[in-house]
Structure 1
Amino acid sequence: MDRIRIRGGNKLNGVINISGAKNAALPLMIIPMLTADTVTLHNVPRLADVRQLQRILQNHGVDIMTAGKRAGAAENAGETLKISAKSIVDTTAPYELVSKMRASFWVLGPLMGRMGEAKVSLPGGCAIGTRPVDLLLLAMEKLGAEMVIEQGYVIAKAKKGLKGGHIFFPKVSVGATHVALMAAVLAHGDTTIENAATEPEITDVAECLVKMGAKIEGIGTRNLNITGVTSLHGAEHTVVADRIETGTYAMLAGMAGGDVTLRGARADTLADVILTLQRAGLEITTNNEGMRVKRNGSGILPVDVTTDPYPGFPTDLQAQFMGLMTMAKGKSHIRETIFENRFMHVQELARFGADIRVNGNMAEVHGVQKLTGADVMATDLRASVSLVIAALAAEGETMLHRVYHLDRGFEDLEGKLSAVGADVTRISGA
């Protein structure tokens, strides 16, 4: 199993290329199941999760080809995938595949929209609990699907096709909004979605669906109106820049110090994060290349944050921000309101010498003057990067274990950091 060794103390200077957004690429890879035509996606990040979803989609008969680089494409551009679902050969998504990637449950939407039937395993084998799928099922019911849950599977049917309906989400859900959109575009009649998620990744998916012939109004707002069409066609789309990766590298630069340009970053998708980091003492400006992040010698200032649905502070940057606050000049508070059990990184940060006290969904971070390198273990995709942030400022050497979590969501992290001066090395094997 691979490990990453980090020797702290180096400032970061130079350019980091921002990849396409993982949280947009995954649903964008699923929506071609709605058409028999080919959908071409550009700027797809090279991630373990992308590879896994390719295998899952192929189980349904989806053909995916990795195309060569486009003429004139930037050196840092992601992959181009040509995705064709000319024939859906299997409407079952088995547990052994869904259990490996939660987003694969979203195939329920296009399978029902196009085929009128689906048998999809519940993620982890249960419907209710952490990150439940109850809102996704609510959306399908409002569109006329008849569903039963048997032996850990959702078995859904709509013999005459889905019908437009009114969907109100009692709380904002990215996954439920994705599934509702995928299902509604081919439903008979009109659909309204109230309290929809407004994340840039939702907007990216909706814009791609429009290119494919879908009729969607209200994109980027809490209320979406969809007029169902009889069929969709092929399209070409470029995945939006990853705002989570952008925020992560901004915090890495802030922790280590230096002057870094995040090429391709979309500052308009990170307004709340940028304001928060500026309050913490980082200098952030936008330019033609993307975003420039600097931190002078004055140190990091403590800032309180609460995670919220977009456009609030994203839960996917909570762990990274906690890593940044471990060396702030004072006390900060971080309140997590989206997911439970998302403070698992606290114990690992403590191994560096961080002073963090957790009470329920609130973490109180007391900044320390010095962190010391340690052996640490990644616990999930986002938490693992908080350990990299601490390691870049820690004295001595850090060994990060279980880095497959990093590979799921961050493309070539060690390569990008090494290019701007960090002492980061991947060690292959046990």
Structure 2
Amino acid sequence: MIIVGETNQVRENVNDLSERGNAQSHGANVGLIGDKITIRGGRPLVGRIEVKGAKNLVTKAMVAALLGETPSILRDVPNISDVRIVRGLLEAHGVKVTEGDEPGSLQLDPVDVESAHYADIDAHAGSSRIPILFCGPLLHRLGEAFIPELGGCRIGDRPIDYHLEVLRKFGAVVEKQPDGIRMSAPNGLKGTKVELPYPSVGATEQVLLTAVRAEGITELKNAAIEPEIMDLINILQKMGAIITVDTDRVIRIEGVESLQGYQHRALFDRNEAASWAAAALATDGDIFVGGAKQAEMLTFLNVFRKVGGAFDIHDDGIRFYHPGGDLKPVIIETDVHPGFMTDWQQPLVIALTHAHGVSIVHETVYEQRFGFVDALVEMGATIQIHRECLGGHPCRFGQRNFNHSAVIAGPTKLVGADIEVPDLRGGFSHLIAALTAEGTSTVSNVGIISRGYENFITKLRLLGADFDLEG
């Protein structure tokens, strides 16, 4: 719930910059873990960048290839570390992963799938939660699966209990061991009925990837229906799955005996697009985000306009810019789709520090997503964090002592500071803060940002940011 002129010369300059940047874009994020960026703020970000497939879809689509009996081709795959993690896990299980028929595409051949060694799984999976989604497909293919301890951003409780309970319902035997969790399916997997207490994206993906080859019919109630979920359903249907989606968050899957490979161009990354949009607004900039689409960003675009930002919809992307004048405060409550995404609020908070008045952000998806605010306060922002549910209806975090509401008073002027990146979206928000601040900021541990932002160093250069990268 939410309460509350591009010139030809610019396009020519941006296109020229894009062509010069493409030569150095591949692998630009590799090796950034622990590295620092020294940013001299105060410059508007101006230019054009491109976004590829969504992190939250591409990695799951790669896992889905395990279910096929023939190779799959996935296009618009971003060069991010989460993709490299999944690729390593697939290769550890015998999947042959090669470059596809065009730049940014992968061919995934699962013909020789085999059990992986613990050391190989652990080496690749340490910083990601994606291995839990391997379980259903591996149980179908091999009759067994193993996952080590899981990582991911520390933004709140992300229990795998949903996943384990779902797999048990399908008939999996789950054994917790000192080195991780081992699973088997001695009698195969059977369709079942699942009702989620919360429309979890990860649990919905687990059900889909497990049910498509389970014997019988699976009914999932209170399912997540994010665009990335719907695109995963599109992929599974291409493979031969039978899936229906009702308007009341009920998904029904009729299991089939076998699936084939797919060819698919991934949905664009709406989270990355929104992050660059927020950067344009906060820096008084003008950024054309190539590949962004209106339909999947409808809710974000409404809020962006309410704050005072402007945008132009084009066939090949969306131009986001600050049109001049004062930014306006808003009250936002994050929610599952079609609500305002939790991944959108952190970058937008930086722009809200420039708004004239008091804004409220009520976080209802992750209970610890305001850890990035401490650095902003150090930089001069006026932000207070509260345990109460502010700005909307009471949520599941109310009365549980979680600091999940933020009050942002503005406008405030940010000043340079030394910052350490806490998580993916918070880290990008810190970059935006440093870009808007007076003086020099040093942002460390920026490698986390490469989990979800392809070649963000090159993109910052293309947009005219003033910074140095330190190894």
TM-score by length of 1: 0.92
- Whether 1:237 aligns to 2:245 is no
Partner of 2:379: 352
CA distance in 1, matches of 2:458, 2:192: 48
Gaps (5+ residues) in structure 1?
A: 71-78
Partner of 1:148: 175
Partner of 1:3: 36
For residues 387-402 of structure 1, what are the structure 2 equivalents within 5 Å?
387-402=430-445
Question: Which of 415, 423, 432 is equivalent to 1:372?
Answer: 415
Deviation of 1:91 after TM superposition, in Å, equals 5.8
- Whether 1:25 aligns to 2:58 is yes
CA distance in 2, matches of 1:218, 1:358: 38
CA distance in 2, matches of 1:131, 1:320: 21
Moved >6 Å (runs of 4+): none
Question: Which of 130, 153, 170 is equivalent to 2:197?
Answer: 170
CA distance in 1, matches of 2:268, 2:169: 33
CA distance in 1, matches of 2:170, 2:117: 20
Partner of 1:282: 309
CA distance in 1, matches of 2:59, 2:67: 15
Relative distance call for 1:199 and 1:221 in structure 2 (3 A) is farther
* Structure 1 counterpart SS, 2:105: strand
Residues 199 and 311 of structure 1 are in contact (CA less than 8 Å); yes or no, is this contact kept in structure 2? yes
CA distance in 2, matches of 1:350, 1:336: 18
- Whether 1:59 aligns to 2:92 is yes
- Whether 1:50 aligns to 2:77 is no
For residues 292-307 of structure 1, what are the structure 2 equivalents within 5 Å?
292-307=319-334
**Worse overlay, 216-225 or 32-41:** 216-225
Partner of 1:75: none
- Whether 1:214 aligns to 2:241 is yes
Residues 281 and 309 of structure 2 are in contact (CA less than 8 Å); yes or no, is this contact kept in structure 1? yes
Deviation of 1:372 after TM superposition, in Å, equals 1.1
Deviation of 1:162 after TM superposition, in Å, equals 0.8
CA distance in 2, matches of 1:392, 1:220: 42
Question: Which of 62, 80, 84 is equivalent to 2:109?
Answer: 84
* Structure 2 counterpart SS, 1:175: helix
CA distance in 2, matches of 1:384, 1:219: 37
* Structure 2 counterpart SS, 1:159: coil
Residues 113 and 185 of structure 1 are in contact (CA less than 8 Å); yes or no, is this contact kept in structure 2? no
Relative distance call for 1:90 and 1:9 in structure 2 (3 A) is same
Question: Which of 306, 325, 336 is equivalent to 2:352?
Answer: 325
Relative distance call for 1:397 and 1:180 in structure 2 (3 A) is same
Partner of 1:266: 293
Deviation of 1:86 after TM superposition, in Å, equals 1.0
Partner of 2:8: none
- Whether 1:179 aligns to 2:206 is yes
CA distance in 2, matches of 1:91, 1:108: 12
Partner of 1:202: 229
Residues 170 and 189 of structure 2 are in contact (CA less than 8 Å); yes or no, is this contact kept in structure 1? yes
CA distance in 2, matches of 1:12, 1:118: 46
Residues 126 and 151 of structure 2 are in contact (CA less than 8 Å); yes or no, is this contact kept in structure 1? yes
Gaps (5+ residues) in structure 2?
A: 1-33, 387-402
1:194-226 Cα deviation digits (max 9, x unpaired)? 111111111111111111111111188721111
Percent identical pairs in the alignment equals: 35
Deviation of 1:284 after TM superposition, in Å, equals 2.1
* Structure 2 counterpart SS, 1:44: coil
Partner of 1:227: 254
For residues 401-416 of structure 1, what are the structure 2 equivalents within 5 Å?
401-416=444-459
CA distance in 1, matches of 2:436, 2:149: 41
CA distance in 1, matches of 2:117, 2:364: 34
Give, as a single letter, the amino acid of the residue that structure 2 aligns with 1:170: P
Question: Which of 108, 116, 127 is equivalent to 2:135?
Answer: 108
1:167-208 Cα deviation digits (max 9, x unpaired)? 111111111111110110001111111111111111111111
1:270-303 Cα deviation digits (max 9, x unpaired)? 2211111111001123121221212122132111
Question: Which of 99, 103, 106 is equivalent to 2:126?
Answer: 99
Relative distance call for 1:154 and 1:230 in structure 2 (3 A) is same
CA distance in 1, matches of 2:193, 2:368: 33
CA distance in 1, matches of 2:149, 2:35: 30
Deviation of 1:92 after TM superposition, in Å, equals 6.5
* Structure 2 counterpart SS, 1:266: coil
1:105-153 Cα deviation digits (max 9, x unpaired)? 210121123333222234259xxx8200111122212222232323353
* Structure 1 counterpart SS, 2:282: helix
Give, as a single letter, the amino acid of the residue that structure 1 aligns with 2:275: T
CA distance in 2, matches of 1:264, 1:342: 28
Partner of 1:314: 341
Deviation of 1:96 after TM superposition, in Å, equals 4.7
CA distance in 1, matches of 2:459, 2:207: 36
The size of the alignment, in residue pairs, is 417
TM-score by length of 2: 0.84
Partner of 1:336: 363
